[in-house]
Amino acid sequence: MSPDFVLTIIQNAIKVLLFATLPLLSVALVVGLLISIFQAATQLQEMTLTFIPKIIAVFVALLMLSPWMLGMMVDYTRDIIINIPEIIR
């Protein structure tokens, strides 16, 4: 197993991680930004107002995107398992 092969595996793992988490983080960012604008406009500084909508939005996004995220992770795992003979060499 060459160092280039190991780096390729690590790069692919990082890509899968980023692609799987980026939509959820984007949803949390947009909801947080909207709530911050609302709080600035109304001068309402309640701490729980920021957390509850973000949790709900991320949960809904997770429910909607979980088949796609699971498919990406299964494909990556399948590629790793198929390449086991090359990894052992």
Segment 36-63, tens digit of pLDDT:
999 889 888 887 788 899 999 999 999 9
Q: Percent of the chain, pLDDT > 70? A: 100
Q: How many CB atoms lie within 10 A of CB 53?
A: 16
Cα(34)–Cα(31) distance, integer angstroms: 5
Residue 69 lies in a domain: yes
Write the CB contacts of 76 (distance below 8 Å, at least 6 apart in sequence): 12, 13, 16
Higher-pLDDT residue of 47 and 11 is 11
Residue 56 lies in a domain: yes
How far is residue 45 from each of residues 6, 37, 38, 67, measured CA to CA in Å?
49, 11, 10, 37
Residue 49 lies in a domain: yes
Residue 13 lies in a domain: yes
Higher-pLDDT residue of 70 and 44 is 70
Amino acid at 30: V
Domain count of the fold of the chain: 1
Q: Percent of the chain, pLDDT > 90? A: 65
User: Is the pTM here over 0.85, yes or no?
Assistant: no
Residue 48 lies in a domain: yes
Residue 86 lies in a domain: no
Mean residue pLDDT across the chain: 91
Residue span of the structural domain in which 52 resides: 3-81
Q: What is the mean pLDDT of residues 8-14?
A: 92
Cα(17)–Cα(82) distance, integer angstroms: 20
Residue 14 lies in a domain: yes
Q: What is the pLDDT of residue 83?
A: 86
